[in-house]
A and B are shown apart, each in its own frame.
Chain A
Amino acid sequence: MNEAAFAEYTKNLVQQGAVGSDEKYVTENRPTDLYLHFLPFLQGMLYVGNDAPLKEQELQLVQNLAEAFSTAYARYEDFTKLEAAKSAVEAAMDELRATQSQLVQQEKLASLGQLTAGIAHEIKNPLNFVNNFSEVSIEMIEEVLEEREKTRLSDRLGRESTDGTLVDDILKDIKVNLQKIHKHGTRANGIVTSMLLHARGGSGKKEPTDLNALVREYVNLCFHGMRAGKNPIHVEIVLDLDTEMGLTPLVKEDFTRVIINLCTNAFDAMRSKSISDQSGNYVPRLRITTKKEAQTMTMVVEDNGPGIPDEIKDKIMQPFFTTKKGTEGTGLGLSISHDIVKAHGGSLNVEIKESEGSAFVIQLPIV
């Protein structure tokens, strides 16, 4: 390559942005002719200009240099790629974490939604008594006052006074009414309190809890929630609760979600069976059993729905696994329930009885 060609060549390189400036290649006593050697490697090319062709040995040396350079360059590239990949993974993880906590929150709201109708029912019934027994008591007090007035009148007129048994009877009724108002007011208060506990969360600490009472209350709410929801079904509910149960250490607001999830699943399962049932004498039945043993307590939620096919038995506890269509299932109920029971030091397992529905078994340590 002669000088002019070289000048042209470097200008080209500058234009392509391969080298900064052609100045530094134009030295004082530059050779008039150059032998150029090109040694391509993966990420670029090494070129060596010399006033004589390179010898085999020299060429080998330059080749080695090119290879070493290629390796170093590759390392550098890997490193930057790795850095980019790492921050992409971190961003994805953050997003996943946010989505997950959002979903867990949504599942919690959904389970609260399951309850709202049940809660409405459970509040309007006591309210019906509170409103009406108080109104009727006012009427009765007015009657008492009227009777008193009559008595006063006849006293003044020196007539025989009317007998006081009517007034006594009315007063007794009023007393009973006030007791009923108090009873139903307390009932409504209990419902609201546990609803708030469920929505807001409590202390997050385990407290000695009357599990049987919790079961009764939440199964009832779930049942009414289901009844007021889409496609209600008739369900025979059997509670077989150990009277010797005593207190179990539970994070109440968490454990209630387990009860809600298991009951909701059972209702869903039995609904699908009652839709597909041809015999016409299928009676959906939900049975909940609690049993206290020396060190543990066992709670079983059992339904006579379609059961769980063997193929999916291992998957149902996985987050997002659902066989329900569209928005009917989140696939989070069992996985969250599983986590909650585990956080209590216990276990949640499924038992499937051939064509006889499913049973979910919770075991918790008492001490």
Chain B
Amino acid sequence: MKILVVDDEKDIQALFEQRFRKEIRSGEMEFAFAFSGEEALIFLEDSGQEAVLILSDINMPGISGLELLRRIKEKYKEPPPIVMMITAYGDNDNHQTAMHLGANDFLTKPLDFNFLKEQLKGYLHD
């Protein structure tokens, strides 16, 4: 399964590649990275909705994660991609907006990768 990670923090790529190195090595999971909402939209366009799961940060310059979520849910309907939102502000407003826009999950930084891994595997086997 292909997972697209969207975050303006560049080190996020090294972090995911290491924390999921076993899953990547075994081919269980495959990751792609975009460093802005714009890049993410281009990636989705080009890859023809190859990524079935999108993990996006909320606070990014340019298109925010919430806006990205809105556009994805609007554009890609069948099958609807799973979108998990990640934020450094665990505030209620963002949470509610994200859920209202159809987010499948809402995680806060610092990320609990063990929890994230379980969630991802859950979606994988559904």
B11, B63, B64, B93 — most chain A CB neighbours (10 Å): B11
B88, B94, B111 — most chain A CB neighbours (10 Å): B88
Q: Quick check: is B123 within 8 A (CB to CB) of the other chain?
A: no
Q: Quick check: is A135 within 8 A (CB to CB) of the other chain?
A: yes
Q: Is the CB of A234 within 8 A of B64?
A: yes
Interface size class of A (residues with CB under 8 A): 20 to 34
How many pairs of residues, A versus B, come closer than 8 Å at their CB atoms?
63
Interchain CB contact (< 8 A) of A128 among B62, B89, B93, B110: B110
Interchain CB contact (< 8 A) of B88 among A125, A132, A230: A125
Q: Please indicate the chain A residues that have their CB under 8 angstroms from the CB of B15 in the complex.
A: 128-129, 132-133, 136
Which A residues between 309 and 356 are near B, CB-CB below 8 angstroms?
A: none
Q: Please indicate the chain B residues that have their CB under 8 angstroms from the CB of A237 in the complex.
A: 61
Q: Which of chain A's residues has its CB closest to B16's CB?
A: A132
Interface-located stretch among A103-111, A172-180, A201-209:
A172-180
What's the Cα separation between A173 and B15 when bound, in Å? 11
Interchain CB contact (< 8 A) of A234 among B18, B67, B94, B108: B67
* Chain B contact residues, CB within 8 Å of chain A: 9, 11, 14-15, 18-19, 59, 61-64, 67, 88-89, 91, 93-94, 108-111, 113
* 4 smallest beta-carbon distances between A and B, as pairs: A124-B88, A128-B110, A128-B109, A121-B88
* Chain A contact residues, CB within 8 Å of chain B: 117, 120-121, 124-125, 127-133, 135-136, 140, 173, 176-177, 180, 184, 224, 227-228, 230, 232, 234, 236-237
Given contacts A132-B111, A228-B89, could you give 4 more A-B pairs where the C-beta distance is less than 8 Å? A117-B91, A121-B89, A128-B109, A227-B59
